[in-house]
Structure 1
Amino acid sequence: MRTAYGLCIEGLDEVTELDAGVRAPVGSRPVSVRQRHAVPPPPAPLDADRMVRVLTDGRTLELGRASGDATFYGPPLAADLLAHPYLAPVAVVVNRWAGRETFHAGAFVHTGRAWVVLGGRTAGKSTLLAALAAREVPVLADDVVVCAGGDVLAGPRCVDLREPIPGFGLRTRGVRGDTRLRVTLPAVAPRLPLGGWIFLHWGARPAMTPLGPAEVLARLAARRSLPELPSDPGALLALAARPGYDLTRPRDWAALDATHRLLDTALSAAGPLP
């Protein structure tokens, strides 16, 4: 059995980026993953007993809501691809069916709390997380963040980069057909309490700007995965009650040191959990 994203996963024993032989978080959802090079079934909606969705590369993913079966139809996927990005849509659908909120985001750990990093596709989420990992800051997740109650659940133990970060000495290996450089992450707790939210932006100099709860709520509501599935308004309100910040930093590798210092100072002042 392997674990990630609040899932207990069978069928991915060859995926080393997933935790093995550890106690799964309370409430973990069982999922059995398999691959079939066969004609896929026709599409089916998310609110049915099963979901069938065509992925961006033409493969089809079928998920059983009650059974927990996840089947990829198409050419076989290598283990590095199953770790990321193909496990992500499985995690998103299963956790949204379970009533959890998921976001296209990453998360790192500061003073025992998980801080979620959100931004667009070119906002530098993975670069920031890899730079923090190089400073021995624990990274909880990249690509998908799953919130279960007031906790954030750990993802696969890797961060994928489009290009190397100069001056950090990060050990990487080519994955996904050598289109990405993968940083392997050490083990981390399977779930940690949510500290708050960090929204990434590019700008002239590093700056952290606090956000009010109403603004955080509006942004989270707009960024949750699969908005066609219902969300619990009370759960979203509870998530938005945690501190939120806009983090602005320049597109300059040399600014990563200043960004890290700014994060450490601001998050240390955020205070204890309620």
Structure 2
Amino acid sequence: MPIRSAYGLHIRGLDAVAELPATAYPPARSRTVTVRQRHAPPPEPAPLDADRVVRVLTDGRTLDLHRRRGTATFYGPPLAPDVLAHPYLGPVAVIVNRWAGRETFHAGAFVHAGRAWVVLGDRTAGKSSLLAALAARDVPVLADDIVVLDGGDVLAGPRCVDLREPIPGVDLTTRPVRQDTRLRITLPAVPQRLPLGGWIFLGWGERLALTPVGPAELLARLAARRSLPELPSDPAGLLALAGLPGYDLTRPRDWAVLDATCRLLDAVLAPAEAPR
């Protein structure tokens, strides 16, 4: 039976979720988790500890995660496969990977010259629209919404990007998902993991610019943006992540600038990835 995987997880119980890549064997270093649904009264919320976390989600459902059992149970009305791919797999991936000592971020990632570049920003910063524009230009997209790092590698996410609205000039097939609130782009297959190339922080501005971020500032930003900061992180690991290139990408709120944005990224990131 094919194995579903994403975010460094070997996932059982989600065979109907087409956005999760199917492999013959569990990916290297993957964590096994069985996802279940229960339309029953949930357990009481419990704080994050060594073995279990119970959290109430924004829609009122409850997520119950057992570390030693390797189970993730959603309590509430049944969830359709499209929302299990995204966004509901996100909190499972974050908690299980943070338990495993990996860093996770609310971010996306694309591939340039064989390396993964992580795109961070607020929820309205346009991460998904930039990733969709890159995908339309045949740039591989490694992850959207959640980025998981295993040492110096970025792990692939579900094969989709969800948009709030159509993007002019992005000629990719979409389908309505999440009760018709999003347009989903299906992404092609990518490697399960790729080495991290660097960091890009999105923002809005009057002009298009890609400005370097210094190592000290980059370290502070990464420390502040990591998921579940109540769990410990390896200081040496964070220092290594902050030693890679980082940029602030600002651009006007104008769809017409997407082409120029993609060209700018291609021009600047190529020398950044030159052998050191």
Distance 2:49 2:165 in 1: 39
Between the aligned partners of 2:31 and 2:81, the Cα distance in structure 1 is 21
Task: Tell me how far 1:271 sits from its aligned partner.
Answer: 2.9
2:11 to 9, 12, 15: 9
Query: 1:1-274 alignment to 2 at 5 Å?
Result: 1-272=3-274
Tell me how far apart the structure 1 counterparts of residues 122 and 275 of structure 2 sit (CA, whole Å).
Answer: 28
Q: TM-score w.r.t. structure 2 length?
A: 0.97
Please tell me whether the aligned partners of residues 132 and 170 of structure 2 are also in contact (alpha carbons under 8 angstroms).
no
Unaligned 5+ residue runs, structure 2?
none
Give per-residue Cα distances to partners, 1:45-104, cap 9 Å, x unaligned: 211411111000000000111111000000000000000000000000000000000000
In 1, distance between residues paired with 2:197 and 2:24?
24
Measure how far apart 1:22 and its partner are: 4.5
Q: Which moved more, 1:43-52 or 1:91-100?
A: 43-52
CA–CA separation in structure 2 for the residues paired with 1:24 and 1:240: 30
Check conservation: 1:24, 1:190, Cα contact below 8 A. Answer: no
SS at match of 2:272: coil
TM-superposed CA distance for 1:182, in Å, is: 0.3
Instruction: Give the conservation status (yes or no) of the 8 Å contact 1:107–1:141.
Output: yes
Letter in 2 for 1:221: A
> Aligned-residue CA RMSD in angstroms?
1.0
Structure 1 residues 39 and 249, CA, compared in 2 at 3 Å: closer, same or farther?
same
TM-score by length of 1: 0.98
Deviation of 1:170 after TM superposition, in Å, equals: 1.7
* Gap regions ≥5 residues in structure 1: none
Whether the 8 Å CA contact 2:197–2:273 is kept in 1: the answer is no
Distance 1:163 1:22, change over 3 A: farther
Q: Percent identity?
A: 77
Q: Distance in 1 between matches of 2:181 and 2:141?
A: 22
Residue deviations 1:235-259 (CA, integer Å, cap 9, x gap)? 1111111100000111111100110
